[in-house]
Amino acid sequence: MGFVVGLDAGGTSTRALVLDLDGTRLGAGVAGGANPNSHPPEQAAAHVNQALAAALDGLDATKVESGVLGMAGSSKLTDPAVAALFERAWTGAGLRCPMRVITDCEAAFATGSASPDGTVLVAGTGSIAATITAHRLTATVGGHGWLLGDEGSAYWLGREAVRATLRALEGDEQDELTRAVLTLSDVAPHPAAQARRALLTRVNQAAPIALARYAPLVTAHSAARSAEAIIAEAVAVLADLALAARPAAADTPIVLVGSLVHAHPLGALLRAELTARTRAPVRVATESSAGAAWLAAVEVLGDTAPRPN
């Protein structure tokens, strides 16, 4: 019996999974991030090779019949030089099957649902919703990046936490969230005017995307008045994003993926909001490499391919 392999290549990590054709896991590997937009392409490709090598350790790579690489930043492979780096990483791991590249949205949806059609909402460092038709991405809403969008994302949550803190230092009453922001920034809370200047300096010295590091403070201090308001707005804009990517009467699944989907209480509130606003099943995806591997099995066996065990 042959094998299939799936990879989830994100900005933080790359995960590879090998399955046999009855869905049994045979091997797994983890390496660094492989998004060629956020890492040098040579490094990103090397991480793909490392994850593959770990997952295939002890297995005959020539028995892999189908392979799928789910990737954040997959559009970068339209550059022939970048594509060649990833092809070498693929064949360098011993694979002889073609490398099929898909978006991270397609891999995530396949992880959460075997349905060929539906909607996937990514709520992590960034945010995007996508329409999936016949297992393939056919349209997107959002995903415009930190400068132009990414509403409801970890970047957005972190920025709103800092903005709430600045308002508090300008006269509003401080709460647990705003004090936590100052602590993480290594800024003394008093005197307020000095703290405000110091916080602005700290934030502007870092890369804009570094605002995402404040996001966990919002959910950790969710009972704080400022955090409650931020979470409520995040839930609303993320639900709007997901519903904008599907027809009003659609009953196909909605799959949620990303760090914020698992953050309490935001994730639970988002699932409840979507359930209340649509009759569709709402599911959470965890390991997108499993979805990529299943799609590789679908290429061999069709839609009846067993789901990963």
Domain ranges of the chain: 3-113+287-301, 117-280
Question: For residue 120, what are the CA distances in angstroms to 78, 90, 139, 255, 267?
Answer: 23, 27, 11, 5, 14
pTM of the full structure? 0.87
- Taking only the tens place, the pLDDT of each residue in 237-272 is 999 999 999 998 899 999 999 889 999 999 999 999
Q: Do the domains spanning 3-113+287-301 and 117-280 agree at the CATH topology level?
A: yes
- Kindly tell me if the per-residue pLDDT of 28 is higher than 80: yes
Q: Is 289 exposed, middle or buried (0-12, 13-18, 19+ CB in 10 A)?
A: buried
pLDDT single digits (tens) 122-169: 998 889 999 999 999 999 999 888 888 899 999 999 999 999 999 999
Class of 117-280 in CATH:
alpha beta
CATH 3.30.420.40 fits 3-113+287-301, yes or no: yes
Contact, 132 vs 91, CB < 8 A? Answer: no
pLDDT digits (tens, 9 = 90+) for 68-80: 999 988 989 999 9
Identify the pLDDT of residue 10.
84
